Amino acid sequence: MKCFIRSVLVLTSIFMAAGLLVGASLLADYKADFSKSLDKGWSFVREDKADWRLKDGKLQLLAQPSNIWGKRNNKTENFLLRALPGPASTVEVTVDFNPRKEYEQAGLMIYLDDDNYIKFDRELYGGQSCTLVLESKAKPKVVKKIPFREGPLRLRLEIAAGKVKAMVKAPGGKEWTTHGETTLPGSHDKVKVGMFALLGDKKKPRWATFSDFVLTAGK
């Protein structure tokens, strides 16, 4: 009898430990490691290996000279993306980029295809700004633009119930500024999320630096 009870207790402990491990894995944040190579799960749209790099534990994208605005613009390279973990997700990244050419930009993207996406970026748009754009069925629109000082920005997109809320703050800051809200450009299992840099200056190429990328389910 004692042996039976001992066996039951051992099995119970094993199952509890396994359950804790599974629960922890489901709740854990994905934190990108840009120190050596890209983690499994990342993929590029139209990769150009010469225009991206990992440096000092951060991702750098060269701002592409092309655009993605509207139906005619569909050849921009090096969107680095990965799948959402579920219908409710939160993604954050710090982008360090000081654009000097009008509409030059870098930031976060939720991407279905070139005609259906969300861009949330640091941009030179009538001055240093933070801009939220939705393009749906090749019809783009600026959801909201707010002026923001030069320097790095912490960008955040909260996804839930088919809606996307954009938030921004200075890295290390305590308060998020709610930027705007729009509609997810496709079902959560079809879109991907990641980083981009575009409308760069061919004569004066500039790199956008991304760090502390975190993707979380259920927040």
The pLDDT tens digits for 88-139 are 999 999 999 999 999 999 999 999 999 999 999 999 999 999 999 999 999 9
Kind and range of the H or E element at 61?
Answer: strand 58-62
Single pTM value for the model: 0.86
Q: How far is CA 116 from CA 46, 57, 133, 156, 170, in A?
A: 16, 31, 11, 19, 28
Q: What is the pLDDT of residue 218?
A: 83
What mean pLDDT is predicted for residues 60-84? 96
Residues 4-15: pLDDT tens digits?
444 433 333 433
Q: Which stretch of DSSP H or E encloses residue 25?
A: helix 2-27
pLDDT-above-90 percentage for the chain: 81
pLDDT at 90: 98
Nearest C-alpha neighbor of 96 from the set 31, 32, 177, 170: 170
Q: What is the pLDDT of residue 7?
A: 45
